[in-house]
Amino acid sequence: MSIVSDISTRTSAAIALDDRYTAHNYAPLPVVAASAEGAWITDVDGRRYLDCLAAYSAVNFGHRNPVITAAAHAQLDAVTLVSRAFHSDRLGPFCRALAAMCGKDMVLPMNSGAEAVESAIKVARKWGSDVKGVPAGQANIIVARNNFHGRTTTIISFSDDQTARGGFGPFTPGFRAVPFGDAAALAAAIDGNTVAVLLEPIQGEAGIIVPPADFLPRVRALCTEHNVLMIADEIQSGLARTGRTFACDHWDVVPDIYLLGKALGGGVVPLSAVIANRDILGVLHPGEHGSTFGGNPLAAAIGSTVVEILNTGEYQSRSTELGEHLHHRLAGVPGVTAVRGKGLWAGVDIDAQVGTGKQVSLRLAERGVLVKDTHGQTLRFAPPLVITKDEIDWAMERFAEAMTIG
């Protein structure tokens, strides 16, 4: 049954309900998930799809990873939420483990990725004011063009995606954008009031853009030289996606602040974090920042389990080995004009004659493979890291088919 030409009553009823009652801020493919396991999603009609998006890396360890769901079940039977008005016996162990994994002193737990970014902006400005001595209201933060850090008002203020910005002004001042990968432009943008450089080490939404080899080391050196905080947004690139715990590891670069989200919540709960040393996160005092759900016991229990999983290195190795295979297979598909990325993370440009990214992703969905298009002619492959070599091969056969009909 083709999902596009022969949509079932159940599928169309579910889509109609969404359409009627859910704000139209997304344009999803016509697939209605009912259950999922490992790398597979099953829809309301029992049709199975190989998930090659993994909720934008939030499901790195597979749908309903049994170790993670066991931790969640156990915590559901203990305590789920107390707010930060009280302590919980889960938060300290989680923050200690996460800080150790990052090689830092402290953790500021939040929920969504955008919240982590917002929090880091506040921390950097406060650090600029309290530690660096930047005059009140004068701090600037350098960002990259074509960045994606979320959709809140401050974050879209330094986006150059007109769809994300149009009609949403006035915008938050204090940001300077330079081309991603251009260390000289970044150096020229730094002045005495620069408090931070905020970057995705590999740009995700922009199409999995890997910077030149010397870029991140040069950014690191510039930040050190000018007493500027280097903030790595690893919300999509981190936690084994690229074959390393952090994408920054590929260049042996250690930022001052890591931002994590998505996979940190094990695909179960929203959990994000700002991780840094005490001389940075220590600028926050009671009342200056917070979140009712940030660091709740359920999320903390799940986050601790995610850190334990990452400490084994198993998923990092899987991503490296299978990523090479994925990249090799993608490059061999006729109509593919470029493949970028690292590990099980690939941005694939396709020839316009084959169709748009959206058209090819629809054809792929008809064949049981779920991917996401971005910027017209690019597809993103980011399967859960539990995917097998055979499943990759199966997906690549479906991809080759989807690329041959025009």
Ligand X SMILES: Cc1ncc(COP(=O)(O)O)c(C=O)c1O
Which residue in the set 40, 56, 158, 215 belongs to the binding site for ligand X (CB under 6 A)? 56
Q: Which one of residues 148, 180, 215, 399 is an interface residue with ligand X (CB under 6 A)?
A: 148
Choose, by CB under 6 A, the member of 63, 149, 220, 241 that binds ligand X: 149
Q: Which tokens is 23 given? A: 């704000």
Specify whether 233 is catalytic: yes
Residue 262 is among the residues annotated as catalytic for this protein: yes
How, if at all, do strands 229-233 and 40-43 pair?
unpaired
Site track 11-50 with ligand X (rule: CB under 6 A), x = hit: ----------------------------------------
Which of the stretches 83-91, 231-239, 304-312, 370-378 binds ligand X when contact is defined by CB under 6 A? Answer: 231-239
CB-neighbour burial class of residue 400 (10 A; exposed 0-12, middle 13-18, buried 19+): middle
Does 194 participate in binding ligand X (rule CB under 6 A)? no
Q: How wide is the angle at C-alpha 375 spanned by C-alphas 388 and 371, nearest 5°?
A: 25
Return the H-helix or E-strand segment holding 143. Answer: strand 140-144
Does position 235 interact with ligand X (CB under 6 A)? The reply is yes
* 246 is an interface residue for ligand X by CB under 6 A: no
Using CA atoms, how far residue 71 sits from 79, 96, 141, 162, 302, in Å, is 12, 18, 39, 41, 6
Binding piece for ligand X, criterion CB under 6 A, among 80-88, 106-114, 300-308, 320-328: 106-114
CA 39/CA 49 separation, integer angstroms? 9
Residue 373 touches ligand X, criterion: CB under 6 A: no
Q: Is 90 in the site for ligand X (CB under 6 A)?
A: no
On the 0-12 / 13-18 / 19+ scale of CB atoms within 10 A, 172 is middle
* Residue 43 or 234 with smaller CB distance to ligand X: 234
Task: For ligand X, give the closer residue by CB, 20 or 24.
Answer: 24
Q: Which residues bind ligand X (CB under 6 A)?
A: 56, 112-114, 117, 148-150, 200, 204-205, 233, 235-236, 261
Could you list the active site residues?
A: 148, 233, 262
